[in-house]
A and B are shown apart, each in its own frame.
Chain A
Amino acid sequence: MLLSRRATLQALTAAVLATPVVARSADPFRIGTVLSVTGPAAFLGQDMKDGAQLAVEQINLSGGIDGREVEWIFHDAQSETQRAINDTRKLLTSDRVDIIVGGGSMSGIALAMSAMCEQAKVPFISTEGAAGIVAPVAQHRWSFKSTVDDDLAMQRLADYFDKRGIQRIALLADTSGFGQSATEQLRAVASARGLSLTALSFSPGDTDLVPQLTAAREAKAQAIICWTVTPAGLVFLKQAQQLALHEQATLIHGYGFVANRYMELAGNAADPLLLLSQKFVVGDELPDNDPVRQPILALDKAFRERWNRAPNQFVAQTYDAVQMARTALAQGGKDREKVRQALEAIHGLRLASGVFDFSPDRHAGLSKQNLVLVSWRGGRFHLADYT
């Protein structure tokens, strides 16, 4: 921890030395970040960290925020809530950060951090999914998130089903908070939009989904949705292929499964698959007038130059969150209440994950227009359904 912080400081100092524009005497803005670079969430955490770091470096290279440099304090939560809580306490009490960006790469951690920031009255921008991180707003006045809400994701899917005349659907969600929240939301959306839903579940460590898939087949589902971030989603694809389910139903994965690695492992089992996704992975295929096309291409270029690899949507989540922090800090300065209000006032902010609109009633900034359906062909994602 200490080491990574020292390394970060060194990197920042180097960046600062390279840009004499920054007035070093001004009290810097301190941004705290907690993500999981190791442990079960590690497969997301490294990309998320690199995205945030890139954003901070860019800010300091361009002269900081309002003449103040940004001091970035990073902690690896190691996918453990208890560790994340200790890290957050450190950020809030001894580091006295102006804002916290990033909620440990896991919804469970972000929920705990949200409560802590609420108590300490420090703005918190979560990069995790669960709706409960920011809702209801009355109890989460200080928390915001840069990800889409599940109810909107399900609405977006229902729109697609309407378009295709699909009425009978099945959902295989994992038993984690991520999957169960999706089940709840899809139930509500399905009953509101007249879809008949067969809801099934599996544990993230499951190695056999034939029973669930057989049940979905018996229910004559026209679309089968799988909701997980775990490799069990691969088992879903393989076994759906073995049972020839794609002849009967459209197979859909949620946004948690939009990862090149998973698609490569799935091989031709991914051919009939559609994935609900943010626009990031298909940035170059978006129409020219799409508001997020330019931010995506810019981030893609900058990330490749900095890290010599391609970014993904998790990079965009943290990168965007730091951009939001930048916008709010520029307006609110060192006054935390003003920063909080500046976040609530963000409207039409075009970033790589989508167009963000916060309000005093809604602290989740992405609408369903920011979601598309994509497919996987020839080693990359392609746009399959655009609003």
Chain B
Amino acid sequence: MADRTVLLQLLFSGFGTGGVYALVAVGFSVVYKSTGAVNFAQGEWTMLGGMTTATLAALHLPPALACMIAVPLVGLVGLMSERLAVAPLRIPTPMAITLLTIGIGLATRGAAMLTLGKQPMGYDGFSGNAVVQIAGIRVPAQTLWVLAIAAGFLLLAQLFFSRSVPGKALRALAADRDAAALVGIEPGRGVMWCFALGAFAGGLAGAIVTPLTFISYDQGAALGFKGFSAAILGGLGSLPGAALGGIVLGVAEALAAGTLSSQFKDAIAFAILLLVLFLRPNGLLGRADTSRL
């Protein structure tokens, strides 16, 4: 009985963390799809979402409203980053864009430190500090919010890409840039919206997880690293893959920390990652891609 509740407690905790990893992974996937680049600024945008929401919440805005203002702001930061740094590139190779995102990330971190401060921040969750009893275990209400919001966002993103015209246009761009341009889809615009969407997803992840974990300006890299692992695990460029990768990584970490030793936690997460990459080089749900050369 005790073991069952412990396991359940660990699973919930893993799902909560996994939901956040999944959102960050979506950000990586979207930018990768449109440019072929790994966006190293993704973690910093996640941090920025948390810091901005906490700053607004400190001004006595309701947490949900603070979140609704902060997350689009982060999306705007992503959009502006693309316009100011990536769009002017004459030859936008994936490598050049990847290198640029490192610079964007550093700039974002520096700007966050200077404007939002060096101190860690946090705010009460959407339901305050409420704790919900489920099947004999105690789960913070915010964890449920995280799960619901992450699931909702992933579903919307999936619908956007599979049903809507702009979504289909972005997919067309990812599939064949030149052919898409021939049918009237402007590649530069597409990349811009993908950066905005990626930043939005990251900002959302940061915003909803901050009540559980707090955030400070230097935590972006760690979040980005975990999100990137989740994206690779699920298959970079696949939305369902990002969701699955995030959840698998989160649960693996929680189980490893709770049942073995916490020191093995990261090691086990990465062992799983390596194993999956050996057996399925394109990730759990990734499809074998033709080379981009």
Contacts and interface: CB of A to CB of B under 8 A. Distances in A.
A267 B214 CA distance: 12
B156 interface: no
A212 B263 CA distance: 11
Interface of A: 39-40, 42-43, 175, 200-203, 205, 207-208, 210-212, 214-215, 218, 231, 234-235, 238-239, 241-244, 261-262, 265, 267-269
B17 interface: yes
Given A40-B218, A242-B138, A261-B119, A211 B262 contact: yes
B138 A244 contact: yes
Nearest to A211: B258
A250 to B, nearest CB: 19
Nearest to A201: B262
Interface string B198-222: 0000000000010011111011001
B92 interface: no
Most buried by B among A39, A208, A243, A267: A208
B218 A208 contact: no
Nearest to A204: B222
Nearest to A231: B120
A366 B262 CA distance: 32
Contact of B213 (A201, A207, A241): A207
B164 interface: no
Contact of B262 (A39, A40, A202, A267): A202
Interface size class of B (residues with CB under 8 A): 35 or more
A235 B119 contact: no
Contact of B118 (A42, A203, A243): A42
Given A214-B9, A231-B216, A242 B120 contact: no
B265 interface: yes
Nearest to B125: A238
B286 interface: no
A212 B256 CA distance: 10
29 contacts: A40-B218, A42-B118, A200-B261, A201-B262, A202-B265, A203-B266, A207-B209, A207-B212, A208-B13, A208-B254, A210-B9, A210-B254, A210-B258, A212-B258, A214-B6, A214-B258, A218-B2, A218-B6, A234-B214, A235-B213, A235-B214, A239-B140, A242-B129, A242-B139, A244-B138, A261-B120, A265-B120, A265-B121, A267-B129
Given A208-B17, A208-B213, A201 B261 contact: yes
A212 B6 contact: no
B206 to A, nearest CB: 11
Contacts of B16: 208
- Which 3 A-B pairs have CB atoms at the shortest separation, nearest pair first? A211-B258, A207-B213, A205-B222
Contact of B10 (A43, A214, A231, A268): A214
A202 to B, nearest CB: 5
**By DSSP majority rule, is chain B's interface helix, strand, loop, or mixed?**
helix
Contacts of A212: 257-258, 262
A194 to B, nearest CB: 24
Interface string B121-152: 11010000101000000111000000000000
A384 B209 CA distance: 33
Given A205-B222, A241-B129, A265-B120, A211 B17 contact: no
Interface in B149-206: none
Given A214-B10, A242-B138, A265-B214, A205 B219 contact: yes
Contact of A231 (B129, B214, B265): B214
B129 A210 contact: no
A208 B257 CA distance: 10
A203 B265 contact: yes
A269 B140 CA distance: 13
B257 A234 contact: no
Contacts of B12: 210
Contacts of A265: 120-122, 214
Interface in B4-22: 6, 9-10, 12-13, 16-17, 20
